[in-house]
Structure 1
């Protein structure tokens, strides 16, 4: 965990900061501000925020347990404030979130989707699987043509698991 930061479950009052971080990323699909508020209310147990020394959110991951596969944590969005990039925060949030969800629910798998051109996210999930000694399967979940706007990249589904909450012994740490 980067020095001076701590992980926490999101609270309702974090929703506006999460929306701002997502907006300022200029990479994520921006959801409505209302959806971030709902996420903080309804999915705080399967999401995480990173807080700075003043308690303000500087990064977040939103996730949920898949209804038909409750042992699978679906990671919806990962975002890190520009001021905190390059410090390993995304990986620390993902490790911390998975450990908490696994302990509370018994989850042993992670899924997410990433566009092929999103190199940082592709590295994040590949290195997460490596740290945990888990297989990572990839396949196109949604072709670009199914999106209503033109030019959307395909969304590649990562299926990672089975996992253990702690990285595998001898796994490279970042």
Structure 2
């Protein structure tokens, strides 16, 4: 057990966690913030493909939201991942990603993780490259959504990171 695992409990989110997840996303200042309503729905409809880390008081310290692609059920799309400012710098984001991946590989036969990252988000790039290394998986990177597709000014392109294959835990 790692020090991070000893300090935090990984769990599926519940609807009551939606507000905390919204707050962490808002306070991250790097994620595209969705409506608070959408985080409540996410915790209801996609809890099985998402995870939260709870601190010693049961409070949400970080989260990862994801879903399996309808046309590729062996692919987990990681929508957002963030850690509360008070808990950053200790590897919690990596633990969240590893814990969620282990669960969906076992329960849903997921073999691939996809996420999109803007070219300026070096922290997320490092997180997902590190995840791929830990899992002995390759990384393919292509532009999924060019900047011109976004209706809001100044949105950078979203690059698709496709990580796999992931092997089931032994």
TM-score, normalized by length of structure 1?
Answer: 0.94
Name the structure 2 match of 1:164.
Answer: 167
Rate the CA distance shift 1:13–1:7 in 2: closer, same or farther, 3 A.
Answer: same
Q: Deviations over 1:45-96 (max 9, x none)?
A: 0000000011110100000000000000000000100001000000000000
2-structure distance, mates of 1:46, 1:96: 11
Question: Is the CA contact 1:63–1:76 (under 8 Å) kept in the aligned structure 2?
Answer: yes
3-state SS, counterpart of residue 152 of structure 1: coil
Structure 2 unmatched runs, 5+: none
For residues 126-165 of structure 1, what are the structure 2 equivalents within 5 Å? 126-165=129-168
User: Given the alignment of the two structures, is residue 4 of structure 1 paired with residue 4 of structure 2, yes or no?
Assistant: no
Question: Is the CA contact 2:106–2:169 (under 8 Å) kept in the aligned structure 1?
Answer: no
Name the structure 1 match of 2:86.
Answer: 83
Moved over 4 A (4+): none
Name the structure 1 match of 2:102.
Answer: 99
For residues 15-54 of structure 1, what are the structure 2 equivalents within 5 Å? 15-54=18-57
Q: Aligned-residue CA RMSD in angstroms? A: 1.1
TM-score, normalized by length of structure 2?
Answer: 0.96
What is the aligned length?
A: 167
